[in-house]
Structure 1
């Protein structure tokens, strides 16, 4: 049977560094925590955290300051409290992000927010992002295997009821790009804090300014012919 190309089925958005300029807020909180522990967070460790879930980031931080013995939960709770304060007052949209999100919703096309950030902080961020802008939210603490594993993006497509191959994922980090590509989505990369190296299947732009549905549709591979 030959299946015609049904076009773009959904757009899957990463949050930190993609929709909102929040990586700088994470930078503040993570460096403050290192100082609280009597250490100093290296730039290399900070870069390694971008796109990671909270547990992974805390392991990196503990190792970087030579305090692997610290409890992950205690550090995670500290970061959550501090980031909640910063999210309430400091979230700023990335260039072009709000306009693209509004265009996708007006199409109308299904949307998902797929983030490594845990649900409590996502709930704070949604006050800026707009809860109604997303049909599905997949938070970092709601999957067994967070990014760079493909589970978050596969979960989003399943919850939306759409084939992942007909989805475009928008990401700013290597962990997120790896997750989305492994899941089978078309991927648009818009790096923020850390450059993204070109790789097969990744479409790179400097920002979301000027990105529209027509451009997103061109990122999809032609539909496969099945018999």
Structure 2
């Protein structure tokens, strides 16, 4: 289940809300999108979109606005959203507390890392300028798999990339959607709730933040 050193064979990092504090910016764009459709973004609607892939989040807003299937221009609306988030992210995105030290700690242990995010590739590449693409052996985005989180495909793909069984990998997540994806994929996870509580599962280990995360914490979460 774990290697000779008792540590994970690979660590999979979620991005939005886990490493970077992007959720307020995504919320701003979704509020603007809802307004374009003639509705207000209610707390319930916003909560339902947390951690979703772009198509899933857009579908929920379309549904709330009662937009018929024939009136849903996913291609044009997604292009608008992508440009808006790129514009906002280009101004700089703050790190979540403890994120840089946690990344450095895992790297110092020579554990391969994969960035696993529901965010589309075009936006992820912009944010990697802040995080540092060289930290990861690979990145997997929500628009590069059959279905994004909460489905298991994105985590299973990450395990394939590093050539390890999922039981030897550890994920770090923040949202119910991302946590559900790890559970469906059979990947144990450390959960750092950032906005919405995550229901407990036997494969989840909860922490208040990434501050002070140690290699022993990773070993304990995988054991």
TM-score of the superposition, structure 1-length normalised?
0.92
Which ranges in structure 2 are unaligned for 5 or more consecutive residues? none
Q: Equivalent residue of 2:171, what SS?
A: strand
Question: Are 2:39 and 1:39 equivalent residues in the alignment?
Answer: yes
Distance 1:122 1:12 in 2: 15
Question: Are 2:82 and 1:80 equivalent residues in the alignment?
Answer: yes
Distance 1:23 1:193 in 2: 9
Question: Are 2:212 and 1:216 equivalent residues in the alignment?
Answer: no
Deviation at 1:50, TM superposition (A): 0.8
Match of 1:150 in 2: 152
Match of 2:91 in 1: 89
Q: Equivalent residue of 1:178, what SS?
A: helix
Match of 1:133 in 2: 135
Distance 1:210 1:141, change over 3 A: same
Distance 2:61 2:76 in 1: 13
Equivalent positions of 1:119-198 (< 5 A) are 119-198=121-200
Q: CA RMSD in A?
A: 1.4
Q: Equivalent residue of 1:33, what SS?
A: helix
TM-score of the superposition, structure 2-length normalised?
0.94
Preserved CA contact (<8 Å) 2:115 2:140: yes
Q: Equivalent residue of 1:137, what SS?
A: strand
Which ranges in structure 1 are unaligned for 5 or more consecutive residues? 222-227
Preserved CA contact (<8 Å) 1:41 1:65: no
Q: Equivalent residue of 2:205, what SS?
A: strand
Distance 1:15 1:163 in 2: 22
- 1:180-223 CA distances to partner (integer Å, 9 max, x unpaired)? 122121111111121112222111111111111111111113xx
Match of 2:52 in 1: 52
Aligned residues: 219
